[in-house]
Structure 1
Amino acid sequence: MAFHEKITLSSQDKMDAVALLVLRLGLAWFIFLWAAHKIITPGQYQDLARNFDGVEVSLSQVYLAGGAQIALCLLVALGVLRYFSYGSLLIMHFFTVTRRWEGFFDPFAVNERGFPVNRNQVIDLAVLAALIALVLLIRRDHFSVGGWLARHDRARWWM
């Protein structure tokens, strides 16, 4: 296809693209909030690494991880390097889910004050499913930088 040729999207393609835009922005925002908290409250993440993983991490390591995650979220929000950025968020979140699997077996557990203690794990599964769907539907994600470049047959590596 030549650079001057324009691909027109059907109304169904546009609806799919809008749905994926909403999904992509929502997922990027969700993960961004967790990443930003690494920058805002790094000590909390040092405690989590110590208590959940049994490892000590420095403040600079927490800041580095948070910064890398924020950068990934920006790539996802824009739809740049889609296979890399969407896939990276999926793998990162999958790792989180595998570390918290025990809560999936007791989703209705409450603490002594009646607070549901495992609901974040249940939310994690929904987010994981949404990230899988986003990766599977990359080729229908037309309202992204990568989608625009693909429609205009430019710079395939940006897709």
Structure 2
Amino acid sequence: MASANGIGLSAQDRLDGAALLILRLGLAWFIFLWAAHKIITPQQYQNLARHFDGVEVSVAQVMLGGWGQIALCVLVALGVLRYLSYGSLLVMHFFTVTRRWEGFLDPFALNDRGFPVNRNQVIDLAVLAAFIALVLLIRRDHFSVGGWLGRHDRPRWWM
């Protein structure tokens, strides 16, 4: 438990905070890499939108989405506006998972060269579970800007 004034952290609080810091940074990095690729290779994501969603998007729209995701990744990495930022990345990733559900039905499928073609779907599920855990444990996320503000009686909207 935190001390009476709410500033000090117990050993368990520090362990919880460290675990969530690692989880938060790992998830932010994971999504950041995908977002950065939207900036680097927007045509690839135009093709994905056409193939999976049947929609046409411009290069500018893909890049705007990528920059928006990068901004959210920065907020998540810092732990700012936690419910909004963590929740936004969770919803985005959930959308990705729902678009690729058929791969879950055949997780061991191999292509003609023996490469596992549905391996990313398994990774997607693990990442989705990690996002859900991060959101559920948000109040234990002590080593974040929002956690620090909460311990120092700062405005709640930052948390």
TM-score (ref. length: structure 1):
0.96
Indicate the residue corresponding to 1:131 in structure 2.
131
Unaligned runs of 5+ in 1: none
Quote how far apart the aligned CAs of 1:139 are: 0.3
Indicate the residue corresponding to 1:87 in structure 2.
87
Amino acid at match of 1:158: W
Indicate the residue corresponding to 2:150 in structure 1.
150
Structure 2 CA distance, aligned partners of 1:158 and 1:132? 20
Indicate the residue corresponding to 2:59 in structure 1.
59
Indicate the residue corresponding to 1:17 in structure 2.
17
Quote how far apart the aligned CAs of 1:120 are: 0.3
Structure 2 CA distance, aligned partners of 1:55 and 1:8? 52
Quote how far apart the aligned CAs of 1:155 are: 1.4
Amino acid at match of 2:7: I
Structure 2 CA distance, aligned partners of 1:6 and 1:88? 28
Deviation string, structure 1 residues 36-65 (Cα, Å, up to 9, x no partner): 000000000000001111110000000110
Structure 2 CA distance, aligned partners of 1:65 and 1:29? 16
Quote how far apart the aligned CAs of 1:6 are: 5.3
TM-score (ref. length: structure 2):
0.96
Name the SS of the counterpart of 2:76 in structure 1.
helix
The Cα RMSD (Å) is: 0.7
Deviation string, structure 1 residues 4-42 (Cα, Å, up to 9, x no partner): x55211000000000000000000000000000000000
Indicate the residue corresponding to 1:49 in structure 2.
49
Structure 2 CA distance, aligned partners of 1:65 and 1:6? 39
Amino acid at match of 2:56: E
Structure 2 CA distance, aligned partners of 1:10 and 1:142? 11
Amino acid at match of 2:58: S
Map 1:71-110 → 2, pairs under 5 A:
71-110=71-110
Amino acid at match of 1:64: L
* Number of residue pairs matched by the alignment: 155
